Amino acid sequence: MFLRIGIFLCTNLAIIVVLSAVMSVFGIGSYVTSQGLNYQALFVFALVIGFTGSFISLFISKWLTKRTYGIHIIEQPNSDAEAWLQNKVKELSNQMKIGMPEVGIYESPEPNAFATGWNRNNALVAVSTGLLDHMDADEVEAVLGHEVAHVANGDMVTLALVQGVVNTFVVFFARIAAYFVTQFFSSDEEGEGFSGLVYFGVSIVFEILFGILASTIVMWFSRFREYRADASSAKYVGTEKMRRALQRLKQLQELPADTRAPEMATMKISRHGGWSRFFSSHPPLEDRIAALK
């Protein structure tokens, strides 16, 4: 759920900052001339960094997620629960006509699940121990259907394309803003080297700021795709199972703070108001439940 998007966005932002720094240090794609900025060269520079950063994030997403959360991949099931999970994902994958994803479990009291991977035939579906502890078989099946649907719908690849476009404009406008800020505060006496160093530092700051703001576009896209994944899961496992799973998540989040695990209080899949709703990867659970009706 949120983990899939959060890891992707954080990795993507880190990569474009590093790529920007490396290309600037080695003078690759120079776009600053004696007459000012060459906007065409700058846009090509931003395009290369933007899509390279996005697709590197996509290609390493599965590898990075496994190591970040210590996911145990089920190769030979060691219990009835593991065998059921593996068989259910296989069944859903066959129904949605995709290759069998890797299936994993990770330790966390927070009920959560996610799918990731650059290829719909080489993905990963993982669930938390908290999800298995708090949901019955029908509810878990609906969550698995939702995550397999993300893979079948090509959501990670589409997200990478959207992120690539967003990255391009983030880098483009960050470099323009940094250029004019540097020109405004610099003077001829400071020398070209100093101005270049200041410009490099200011451009990185703008990239981070613009990148955070632009993530609202990616989050809007993610919220839109959640409804589609819900609908796909409802199609294959049944609307009632999907509705029950969402209702169960809503009930878990609405537990009094002193009766639920601390991690559950930070769930990103339901509650968000004010400005925070623009940075949420998922619509409110009540909206998702209503949409199923």
Beta bridge partners of 105: 72, 127
Q: What are phi and psi of 90, to 5 degrees?
A: -65, -45
SS3 of residue 124 by DSSP? strand
List the catalytic residues: 147
Distance CA 122, CA 95 (A): 16
Q: Which residues contact 3 (CB under 8 A, 6 or more apart)?
A: 65, 69, 112, 114
Distance CA 72, CA 115 (A): 14
Q: What are phi and psi of 114, to 5 degrees?
A: -160, 165
* Tokens read off for 263: 């991690």
Distance CA 219, CA 116 (A): 16
Separate counts of helices (H) and strands (E) for the chain = 9, 6
Are the CB atoms for 106 and 69 separated by under 8 Å? yes
Are the CB atoms for 121 and 180 separated by under 8 Å? no
For the chain, the maximum distance between any two Cα atoms, rounded to a whole number of angstroms, is 74
Q: How many residues does the chain have?
A: 293
Torsion 120-161-142-136 (CA) sign: positive
Distance CA 209, CA 231 (A): 35
